[in-house]
Chain A
Amino acid sequence: MITFDNVTKRYPGSHEAITGVSFAIEQGELVYVTGHSGAGKSTLLKLMAAIERPTSGTVLINNQNVSKLKDVTLPYIRRKFGLVFQDHKLLYDRNCYHNVALPLAINGITGLDAGKRIRAALDKVGLLNKEKAMPITLSGGEQQRLAIARAVVSRPSILIADEPTGNLDRHYAADILTLFMAFQQVGVTVIIATHDALGNVNERNKILHLGHGKLVATEVST
C-alpha cells in the first residue's frame, strides 16, 4: 500500500529531515511512528500523504511513484488519505458541520448524501449533538475528535494522524486511540505518529521508530 525505498528528504537550507528510510505498510495495518521531537515523524507522514515529495529515493502509494506524478494528479492521490493534523487545522469561521463538510465538497459530494455522511462521521466521534457548535467552543479533546471526523468523512482507505493524543490527558488519549483502532478493525490502514510512550498496545501493531531522521527500529508488537 505504502512503500518507502531509501527515501531522503532535505528541506532547502536545512539538514536532512529523513535519511535513507525504507519500509512497507500493508493494507489494514495499524502503524505507530515514534521518536523524539525533531526525529522526522511529521516529515515522514507528509511524504506518506503525498504532501511532500522525496529529495531522493522512491515513495510508492498504491504502486504510484509520488516523485513522478504530475502536479495536477497529486490532489487526487491526497484524497485517498484522511489526515489528522498536529495543530488540528480546524476552520474557526464555521461550525462543526461545515468543518466536516469540506473534504466532501472537495470530492464533489454535496446535498443530502453529504449531510448523511457528515452526521455519520460526527456520530462516530460522539459529536452529533454539537454539529451547530463553533469549534472554538469545544474542549481540546472534542476538537481532536472533530478533526478525526473530518479525516474519516470521505471514507479514506488510509488514516494518518500526527500526534493525535499530544496534549490530551490520559483518559481522553485512550478514548482517541480506541477510536483509531475501531477504524483499523473495519479495514482502514491507520498510521499514528506519537512521541508518547505507547500505553494501550495490545494488538498486532507495527512500530517505526525514528531517531535523527533515520529508521532505528521496526518492531512488530504482539
Chain B
Amino acid sequence: MNAWLAQHTQALSLVLRRFKANKLSTLLICLAIGVTLALPSIMYAVLESVSGLANNVKSESQISVFLNSSNSENSVQAVKLALEKNTAIKTFKFVTKEVALNQLQTSNANNEVLNSLEKNPLPDAFFVEPSKLDVESIENLKNDLSKLDGVEEVIVDGAWIKRLNYLLLLGKKIMLILTGLLAVALVAVIGNTVRMQIVTQQAEIELSRLIGATKSFIRRPFLYAGALYGLIGGLFALVITFVVIYLFNQSLAPLAAEYQTDFSLSLPSLYTSGITCLLSLIVGLVSAYFAVSKSLFKSIQ
C-alpha cells in the first residue's frame, strides 16, 4: 500500500514538475480544453434555466375560459356544471373578477393605471387543466368550451409552452451532439499533446525500459498528465461558464424586469460543476491512455 502510494505520488510530482517546466504550453493546452468544454457547459446552463421556467408555467392552467362580463350568477353555475361533467377536464378553478383584480394589484407594480380605472375591466374566468395534453384533445376541448352559453372567449395558453418544450428538446439534442463531437476533438487534442510528450521523453522511456522499469511505471506519468489536462481544462471551462453567465444575466435583468419576472440564468450547481470536472478528467485520462498504448512501446519492442 505504501509502495503503491509512493509510486503514484512520484508519478504525480514528476508530472507537476514537467508542467512547471512548460508553464506556457500547459496553460495553452488547458485553455484550449477549457474553451472547448465551456461551449456545451454554457449551453447546458441556458437550457436548464429555460426549461425550469417552462416547467413552472406548465403547472398552471392551460386553458382559460373567460365569461361574458354581463353574466348572471345562474349562467356561471351552468358553465360550472358543464365543466364538472366534461371528462376531458382534469381540474378547474373559478376566479371571480374581484379576485382577479386583487391578484393583479398584488402582482403588478403599476398600480397607478389600475387605480385610475373606473370599473373592474376583468371578466369572471374558469382556469381549466385538461386531462390529456396532446394538441388534438386540447383543440377539441377548446371547441366544446367555446360553444357553452355565457362563454366569451377560450384561450389555450399552454400551446406556446408546448412549442417551447419541443424547442428545448431540440436544444438538448443539439447540446448532446455538440458535447459528443467536442469530446472527440478533446480526445484528439489531449492525445496529440501526450504523444508529443512521449516523443520528447523518448530517451528517458528507452533508458527506463533497459534498466528495468515496468510498463505501468512508464505509462503512469502520461496518464496523470492526461487526467490533469482534463481536470484543469474542466476548471477553466467552469470559470468561463461562470463569467459568461454573469455577463448574460447583467443584460437579462432589465429584459426580465420588462416582463415583470426576475428570471435569470442559474450558475452551474456544485453537482454540475463536479460532473463537468469529472467528465473532462475522464476524457483526458482515456485519450492519454489511447495515445500511450498506441505509441509508447512501439520503438522499444
Which one of B92-100, B205-213, B246-254 is at the A interface?
B205-213
Complex: A51 Cα to B208 Cα, angstroms: 12
Whether A79 pairs with B203 at a CB distance below 8 angstroms is no
Segment at the B interface, from A62-70, A99-107, A163-171: A99-107
The proximity string for A residues 67-107 relative to B, scoring 1 for CB distances below 8 Å and 0 otherwise, is 00000100111110101010001011100000000110111
Distance in angstroms between the alpha carbons of A204 and B212 in the assembled complex? 31
Which residues of B sit under 8 angstroms from A92, Cβ to Cβ?
Answer: 203
Task: Contact check, B3 vs A106: say whether CB atoms are below 8 A apart.
Answer: no
A108 CB within 8 Å of chain B: yes
B21 to chain A, nearest CB (A): 9
Option from B6, B203, B208 in Cβ contact (under 8 Å) with A106 = B208
Q: Evaluate contact between A79 and B7: CB separation under 8 angstroms.
A: no
Nearest CB of chain B from residue A12's CB, rounded to whole Å: 12
Q: Interface digits, A187-211 against B, CB 8 Å rule (1 contact, 0 not)?
A: 0000000000000000000000000
Q: From DSSP, what is the main secondary structure of chain A's interface residues?
A: loop
Q: How many residues of B contact A (CB 8 A)?
A: 17
B245, chain A: closest CB distance, angstroms: 43
In the complex the two chains form, is B208's CB within 8 Å of A110's CB? no
Q: Using a CB-CB cutoff of 8 Å, which residues 207-223 of chain B contact chain A? A: 207-215, 217
Q: State whether B208 touches A102 (Cβ < 8 A).
A: yes
Q: Give CA–CA (A105, B3) in the complex, Å.
A: 11
> Which residues of chain B are near A51, meaning CB under 8 Å?
210
Cβ < 8 Å to A, chain B residues 232-274: none
Please pick, from B6, B204, B214, the residue contacting A75 in the complex, using a CB distance under 8 A: B214
Least Cβ–Cβ distance between B122 and chain A, in angstroms: 80
Q: For the complex, what is the distance from the CA of A103 to the CA of B213, rounded to whole Å? A: 8
Closest chain A CB from B170 CB (angstroms): 52
B10, CB-defined interface residue at 8 Å:
yes
Name the distance in Å between A188's Cβ and chain B's nearest Cβ: 16
- Considering only residues 99-130 of chain A, those with a C-beta below 8 Å from chain B are 102-103, 105-108, 110
CA distance A81 to B214 in the complex (A): 15
A2 to B213 alpha-carbon distance, docked (Å): 21
Contact indicator B203/A91 (Cβ below 8 Å) = yes
- Distance of A77 Cα from B211 Cα, bound (Å): 9
The answer on a CB contact under 8 Å between A106 and B212 is yes
What are the interface flags for B193-206 relative to A under an 8 Å C-beta threshold, 1 for contact and 0 otherwise? Answer: 00000000001101
| 4 more CB-based (< 8 A) A-B contacts, given A79-B211, A106-B211 | A72-B214, A89-B210, A91-B204, A102-B208
Q: Residues on A close to B: CB < 8 A?
A: 49, 51, 72, 75-79, 81, 83, 85, 89, 91-93, 102-103, 105-108, 110
| Sampled A-B contacts (23; CB under 8 Å) | A49-B210, A72-B214, A75-B213, A75-B214, A75-B215, A75-B217, A77-B212, A78-B211, A81-B211, A89-B203, A91-B203, A91-B207, A102-B204, A102-B208, A103-B212, A105-B10, A106-B213, A108-B3, A108-B6, A108-B7, A108-B10, A110-B6, A110-B10
